[in-house]
């Protein structure tokens, strides 16, 4: 039995610290997120010497954080048969995460994100998706999902009809076995572009919604199909991160406010993913929603205080939450 299995964009994170002059010369805005093509990615391979090379992508980051607590985890994604693809699979293996990976044979390469941190700790991200959406449905995936307490689905996959279709089919396999499905809203633009599809998946499959406050506001903005009360009739819980203001957890019966942790911020990359990893781990262990949220805050605080998405967790810290 697995605690958490997730499906998402398999990206290799390449994190480096750079001066603002580097950003200016390369026409990168501070705090920018931008999709780039293969030629631009190859150019940044030459320009940047990364301090941290990790398996990344939203779901991978979340699964990594759950695994750091000792959860039994699995990951579903797609890479190319190239050096970055090998790195991605090796990193998952080192973290004890079972990899259920499609190897794409197209000319495209493994996806990657160039994460650039300026001296003030502000993050800019340039993302090449590569083959990340080319996930093929496999029997092994269904087997793992059916044996997972929680199946985590990444909203970014809704940008590709093929990846969305695979995600829904696996969600059906999870539901058939009575497991929980968590849905990450991923990004406000992703929500805006796919709102009807998102709501359909939430209403028909989701038990847990994971998002930040902007993503949640975008989902509910000008919403005629469903209001918050009705939404909470379809899902068990909505966990909303609020950056430096902590998080809130919503159910039909209560609103739980989770106070933030005080921390020296080095890099905000993956903070929401880390929160989700701690929160989902707490649920698999039978923790209360409040304690699960506090655990999410704890690991998010650890992640933002250094480069990279993997942290050493002292399991004793959980006892004092």
- Per residue in 165-194, pLDDT tens? 999 999 999 999 999 999 999 999 899 999
The helix (run of H) or strand (run of E) holding residue 219 is helix 213-220
pLDDT at 280: 98
Give the pLDDT of residue 243.
Answer: 83
Chain centroid to CA 174: 19
Mean predicted lDDT score pLDDT of the chain: 91
Supply the CATH number for residue 247's domain: 3.40.1190.20
- Residue 125 placed within a domain: no
Residue whose entry in the numeric block shows the structure tokens 């709501």 = 199
pLDDT at 315: 54
Q: Is residue 113 part of a domain?
A: no
Domain contains 306: yes
Q: What is the DSSP letter of 259?
A: P
Give domain status of residue 66, yes or no.
yes
Q: Is residue 140 part of a domain?
A: yes
> How many other C-beta atoms are found inside a 10 Å radius of the C-beta of residue 225?
11
Average pLDDT over residues 261-266: 60
**Using one digit for the tens of pLDDT, what is the confidence trace for 40-73?**
999 999 999 999 999 999 999 999 999 988 999 9
Joined together, the tokens standing for residue 218 give 């975008």
Question: What digits encode the pLDDT tens for the residues 285-309?
Answer: 999 999 999 999 888 877 766 555 5
Count of domains observed in the chain: 1
For residue 40, being part of any structural domain is answered with no
Kindly tell me if the per-residue pLDDT of 319 is higher than 60: no
Looking at the DSSP bridge assignments, the partners of residue 257 are 248
Q: Which of 83, 38, 75, 133 is nearest to 309 (CA)?
A: 75
Give the pLDDT of residue 294: 93
| DSSP secondary structure code for residue 294 in this structure | H
pLDDT at 301: 78
pLDDT of residue 217: 94
Contact predicate 6/75, CB 8 Å:
yes
Q: In this structure, is residue 283 part of a structural domain?
A: yes
| E strand map for the chain | 2-7, 11-17, 33-35, 52-56, 73-80, 98-104, 111-117, 123-128, 148-154, 180-184, 208-212, 237-241, 247-250, 255-258
Q: Residue 86: is its pLDDT beyond 70?
A: yes
- Virtual torsion, Cα 160, 161, 163, 167, nearest 10 deg: 130
Residue 169 lies in a domain: yes
Angle formed by the axes of helices 58-68 and 289-304, nearest 10°: 110
Asked if pLDDT for residue 139 goes beyond 90, the answer is yes
For residue 244, name the pLDDT band (cuts at 50, 70, 90): confident
Mean pLDDT of 126-151: 96
Range of the domain at 286: 2-10+56-107+132-319
């Amino acid at each position: 039995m697995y605690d958490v299995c997730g499906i998402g964009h398999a990206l290799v994170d390449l994190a480096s610290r750079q001066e603002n002059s580097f950003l200016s010369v390369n026409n990168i805005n501070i705090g920018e997120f931008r999709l780039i093509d293969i030629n631009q990615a190859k150019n940044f391979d030459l320009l940047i010497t990364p301090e941290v090379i990790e398996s990344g992508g939203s779901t991978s980051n979340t699964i990594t954080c759950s695994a750091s607590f000792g959860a039994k985890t699995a990951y579903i994604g797609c890479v190319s048969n190239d050096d970055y693809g090998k790195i991605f699979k090796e990193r998952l293996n080192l973290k004890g995460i079972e990899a259920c990976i499609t190897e794409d044979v197209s000319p495209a390469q493994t996806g990657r994100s160039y994460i650039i941190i300026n001296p003030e700790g502000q993050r800019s991200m340039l993302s090449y998706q590569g083959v990340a959406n080319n996930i093929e449905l496999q029997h092994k995936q269904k087997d793992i999902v059916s044996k997972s307490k929680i199946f985590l689905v990444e909203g970014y996959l809704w940008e590709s009809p093929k990846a969305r279709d695979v995600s829904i089919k696996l969600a059906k396999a999870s539901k058939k076995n009575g497991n929980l499905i968590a849905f990450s809203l991923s990004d406000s633009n992703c929500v805006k572009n796919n709102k009807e599809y998102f709501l359909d998946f939430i209403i028909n499959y989701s038990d847990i919604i994971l998002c930040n406050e902007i993503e949640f506001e975008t989902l509910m903005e000008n919403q005629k199909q469903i209001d918050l009360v009705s939404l909470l009739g379809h899902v068990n819980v909505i966990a909303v991160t609020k950056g430096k203001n902590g998080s809130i957890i919503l159910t039909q019966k209560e609103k739980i406010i989770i106070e933030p942790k005080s921390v020296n911020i080095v890099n905000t990359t993956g903070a929401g993913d880390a929160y989700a990893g701690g929160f989902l781990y707490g649920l698999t262990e039978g923790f209360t929603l409040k304690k699960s949220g506090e655990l999410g805050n704890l690991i998010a605080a650890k992640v933002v205080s250094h480069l990279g998405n993997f942290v050493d967790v002292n399991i004793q810290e959980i006892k004092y939450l």
